[in-house]
Chain A
Amino acid sequence: MIEITNLVKAYDGIKGVDGLSLRVEPGQILGLVGPNGAGKTTTLRCLAGIIPATSGRITIAGFDLRDRPTEARQCLAFVPDEPYLFDHLTVRDHLTLFARLYRVDDGQAHADTLLRDAALTDLELAFPTELSRGMKQKLVVACALLHRPRVLVLDEPLTGLDPAAMRQMKRTVRQTADDGAAIIISSHMLHLVEEVCDRVLIVSRGRTVLEGTLTDIRAELPDVDADADLETLFLRATGADGGS
């Protein structure tokens, strides 16, 4: 379970995230959407413990990120918007390292499964510089899923993936949620969010604009069609549709 309460992240006194709160239950997928500079990545980085929050409380699987960071991180996996990998480690080395970092007892066997799912088995001795961006992204996701996280945070997970890999990624995310993980996906690909996520949180200027299922959001916004898609709802909610 993920719980963020009144999160504030300020840079030189300017608030990038301003009092954001959210809650994601096990098995649920929350889509985090917002215009550029809305504070999505900052929120996810605070949640993953990469940057410290200025104030507010973050709880991951019941562990307070500030008081018990190691336990909280043990339950969490973060997939950043850029596939950060170690250039001197092979694909297999990455999985070996992550198995040790997260103490995955069946690391070898689970790594084999993940490599097979990501179609990386033949590339297990390749270095990241020998992989395409999509392959790197798949490897990052494989590393993230290796320890069967209870909380999964994905920042723009489909960037650089081909259509088949996108489909595979969506299946993987859904399967991980079905296995009981709480998931947050931040993406500008609104069709992905609409297709995969159970609930949506629209943020703008570091604050929550709307939150709920698509039906909830449609109900919150006046003068929208009953079958309005997320793109329409997003543009209306953030005022990016010019008020039309």
Chain B
Amino acid sequence: MRVAVLKGGSSLERQVSLRSGARVEDALASLGHEVVPIDADADLVRSLKDERPDVAFIALHGPGGEDGTPQELLEILGIPYTGPGVASCIRCMDKVLSKHLLRAAGIPTPDWVAFNATAFRELGAADALEQIEARLGFPLVVKPAAQGSALGVRFAASRDDVPEALVAAFSYDDRVLLERHVAGRELAVSLLDGEALPIVEVRAKEEDRFNYEARYEIGRTEYICPADLPQDVSASVREVASRAYETLGCAGFSRVDLMLGEVLQPEVLEANAIPGLTDTSLLPMAAHSAGLEFEDLVARIIELALEGDGRLARQRGA
């Protein structure tokens, strides 16, 4: 089969995407596919038209990659693609929207308040900060609404940290959210075709918490897979993750990040429509733990893309 691998792009996560893409290409090649690597630049549509792949593997991360943009283009071109569809990508990329949807579906997610810069500039949102802080408590987490890889995520330990944290988060996006901090264990549940894979626990060194670098460097962060959790807790974490996956309409594969607070209540932080596929990424790790090697994982993801496309075509009455 002729498989285009979409990677790179111009998001801040370009390098991570190139690493994901390179690894996927290798797997596809050893599966015997014809691999067409495509850097998602201004020539993307032309490249896809010229190359006419049977299916596109989207290994793009961040805005412009997993926010529905290339997915929309692939729909127009009629090329089946891996991972969630347009609407689901839009929901996952926007942390504010996904939190609203999760909460409406009764899935626990930490309390939050979201603003755009205009709210501060033109609507005097700063006047509400005191109430927000009182409601969320300290420490609180400030993050850009649309950004992956923990870029722009800051802890504010006290009121004095809030303005600086807001300025930092607004460097990445025009909308930011302030979120109650959940003290506890950081868990990631990868899902393949809606099935929760073994849970990965991420144990960053204290100074590296929420550090982008630590996530892509061998030996910097400790990962435990499967996470050492009581069976009932593990089951409830996976169940919550599956519900989040469904609620956001994910398909193919995705990853749900959660915090397990002290009362062992899992709370969903976000869902990643196209999680990383690098050497240190969590989805491949979880798949491995489930007995699925990277090549098998890639093969399955391609299979799901084609099946999904068939379903879609039937729905359209084609």
- Do A and B associate with each other? no
Which chain A residues have a beta carbon within 8 Å of chain B's beta carbons? none
